[in-house]
Amino acid sequence: MLFKINHTAPIDLEIKRILTDLIDESLQYLIYSDQNTDECIHEIRKNMKKARATLRLIRPGIPTELYQRFNALFRDIAREFSEARDSRALLDTFNCLMIKHEDSLPVQHASTLVEDNYKNKTSELKKDKPYTTTKAQLDTSRHLTEALKITTGDHEKLLQGLVSHYKKVRKAFKKASQTNDAHEFHEWRKKQKHLLSQFLLLEDFFSSEINYYPEYLDELADLLGKEHDLAVLTIFLEKSPIPKSEFENLKPIINTERESIQEQCTGIGKKIFHKNLKDFEEELNAHLHNH
């Protein structure tokens, strides 16, 4: 699918096309989820996040009640697969740590628990089959999209939406970089992923000179995702019945990894979010194609 608004086409039709494509693609992943559960879960969740980012961009142009209904549907669909997805992320994160530190870590208990957690969560998902509910939610979303009327009728309002979200992400970045708190980094991560999606949606509106924003935001999304997975791994191991000595060996290694990643995130954040809103808006307008 083409996750990009054609700046020469009517905005309402482009938004409906993008939302419909995301929903239809997710329905297809649902059909083949038994063949590759991990990939299908990941792609459905990504599509729902893109759909929510699209909604945020056009929020002033649709009724509040309808926006909330759309947002709740897309959010709930992603949540149905969150435990299985998180268990896969924990396993991958743990395995990456082992590759880097396998000679210095006695982690047999932790390794078994992380692997068992992944198997159990995936098995529960396949056994419980929430797919009927998910399909109904996606079908409802599609019907709502077909009937959707958008009054965000000009490009300027879309740009205002981008500036508005930049403000929120900039604030989240400042809070995370000042506190180094896992929760604040997670909040920054969620908001900046929406900003990345919105830049991708509006790629056709700008000259290529502004492409450094989505490039940095994409790199940042990867790093913030790793930081979040390490934070979740710490909590999982802390609550698990592994020997205390094993956890005490793991914890400083995880913390060191997190500190390094947080430092990288802050460095990228300074490159993107050093501009105030006025300067950011002026930069966008300076590289805006004529419409």
pLDDT at 153: 61
pLDDT at 154: 67
pLDDT at 140: 95
- Which two tokens mark 174? 């400042």
Please name every residue paired with 288 in a beta bridge, in sequence order, or none if there are none.
206
Nearest to 191 by CA among 212, 230, 155, 217: 217
Mean pLDDT of each 10-residue bin along the chain, 291 residues long: 88 93 94 81 94 91 91 94 92 89 71 92 76 90 91 76 93 94 93 94 90 94 95 93 87 93 96 93 86 49
Burial class (CB in 10 A: 0-12, 13-18, 19+), 279: exposed
pLDDT at 131: 78
pLDDT at 152: 64
pLDDT at 124: 83
pLDDT at 129: 63
> Which contacts (CB < 8 Å, 24+ apart) does range 80-84 have?
80/130, 80/133, 80/134, 81/41, 81/44, 81/45, 81/125, 82/45, 83/121, 83/124, 83/125, 84/37, 84/41, 84/121, 84/122, 84/124, 84/125
Residues constituting the chain: 291
Angle between helices 82-101 and 108-128 (to 10 degrees): 160
